[in-house]
Amino acid sequence: MEIKVIKNILEANEVIASQNKRLFEDKGVYVVNLMGSPGAGKTTLLEKTVKHLIDKKRIAVIEGDIATSRDAEKIAAHGVPTLQINTGGACHLDGNMVRGGLKEFNFENIDLLFVENVGNLVCPAEFRIGEDDKVMIISATEGDDKPLKYPLMFQVSSLLLLNKVDLLPYIDFDLERFRNDAIRVNPRLEILTISCRTGEGLDNWYRWLEEKINRKRD
């Protein structure tokens, strides 16, 4: 019975996520589902990205957290439409939660929608929300063993951003093993190394993102 209930929940989510995706397709909006652990650098990455792209692209952001609106306040301060979704304990956003907030946006004036998922390496990978790509960010300080310990997150992501690489000289992190394990889990996974603190590698991320947005608008 429990397996049947879980299956029904996932199937219902797929229906709603597909409806969300049709809306995004109709409006030509490129949607990123940004996933990662608490402290990986999701919000900092968004702040850097919004500041870089705000004069080039029309951006909106949905922030998912169990509680508080602190991250949404940080993003909104940069002058982009921002919505906070508090899950009240749930460890992920799903299609229905996202759909409930879409009426807050005018998608005629949006090129790019970021959805920052709840900080978690497990649950967010299981639920589609209508996104074009899942992007995973992980910090080097979390350890190089994560691809094999949390394979689903790596399997469903299109792009992996390894953050805080400026700290690599000071921590025990085998970059080659990490890359090899990640590619073994998902041979199609693109990997970029970045530091949100120093700016290292962020230009590669911006180029990747702009190419995706432009392709969606063509």
pLDDT mean for each 10 residues of the chain (218 residues): 58 95 97 98 98 97 97 97 96 96 96 98 96 98 98 98 98 98 98 98 98 91
At residue 33, what is the residue type?
N
Structural domain of residue 15, as residue ranges? 2-217
Domain count, the chain: 1
Joined together, the tokens standing for residue 117 give 């998922």
Query: What are 10's two structure tokens?
Result: 């996932």
Structure tokens at 170: 């000071």
In the prediction, which pLDDT does 154 show? 98
Contacts of 193 (CB under 8 A, 6+ apart): 161, 162, 165, 175, 200, 201
Distance CA 77, CA 13 (A): 32
Residue 196: the pLDDT is: 98
CATH number of residue 213's parent domain: 3.40.50.300
Q: Which amino acid is at 18?
A: S
Q: What is the identity of the amino acid at 10? A: L
Name the β-bridge partners of 191: 160
